[in-house]
A and B are shown apart, each in its own frame.
Chain A
Amino acid sequence: GAVVSQHPSWVICKSGTSVKIECRSLDFQATTMFWYRQFPKQSLMLMATSNEGSKATYEQGVEKDKFLINHASLTLSTLTVTSAHPEDSSFYICSASSLGTGTDTQYFGPGTRLTVL
Chain B
Amino acid sequence: QQPVQSPQAVILREGEDAVINCSSSKALYSVHWYRQKHGEAPVFLMILLKGGEQKGHEKISASFNEKKQQSSLYLTASQLSYSGTYFCGTNSGNTPLVFGKGTRLSVIA
> What residues make up the interface of A, taking CB atoms closer than 8 Å to B?
2, 4, 34, 41-44, 46, 49, 93, 101-103, 105-111, 113
Known: A43-B2, A109-B41, A111-B40. A102 touches B29 (CB 8 A): yes
Most B CB atoms within 10 A — which of A41, A44, A49? A44
> What residues make up the interface of B, taking CB atoms closer than 8 Å to A?
2, 29-30, 32, 34, 39-44, 47, 49, 87, 89, 91, 93-102, 104
Closest to B98 in A: A46
> Does the CB pair B29–A105 fall under 8 Å?
no
Please give, as numbers and ranges, the residues of chain B lying within 8 Å of A108 by CB-CB distance.
34, 41-44
> Does the CB pair B42–A102 fall under 8 Å?
no
> Does the CB pair B30–A107 fall under 8 Å?
no
Known: A43-B87, A43-B99, A43-B100. A105 touches B94 (CB 8 A): no
The docked-state distance in angstroms from the alpha carbon of A103 to that of B49 is 7
> Does the CB pair A102–B93 fall under 8 Å?
yes
Known: A93-B41, A105-B32. A43 touches B47 (CB 8 A): no
Please give, as numbers and ranges, the residues of chain B lying within 8 Å of A103 by CB-CB distance.
29-30, 47, 49, 94
Separation in Å of the B85 CB from the closest CB of chain A? 8
A-B contacts besides A34-B96, A105-B44, A108-B41, 17 pairs, CB < 8 Å: A2-B44, A43-B102, A44-B42, A46-B96, A49-B96, A93-B42, A101-B94, A102-B29, A102-B30, A102-B91, A103-B29, A103-B94, A108-B42, A108-B44, A110-B41, A111-B40, A113-B39
The docked-state distance in angstroms from the alpha carbon of A23 to that of B14 is 36
The docked-state distance in angstroms from the alpha carbon of A113 to that of B32 is 24
Please give, as numbers and ranges, the residues of chain A lying within 8 Å of B99 by CB-CB distance.
43-44
The docked-state distance in angstroms from the alpha carbon of A79 to that of B44 is 23
> Does the CB pair B41–A44 fall under 8 Å?
no
Closest to A59 in B: B96
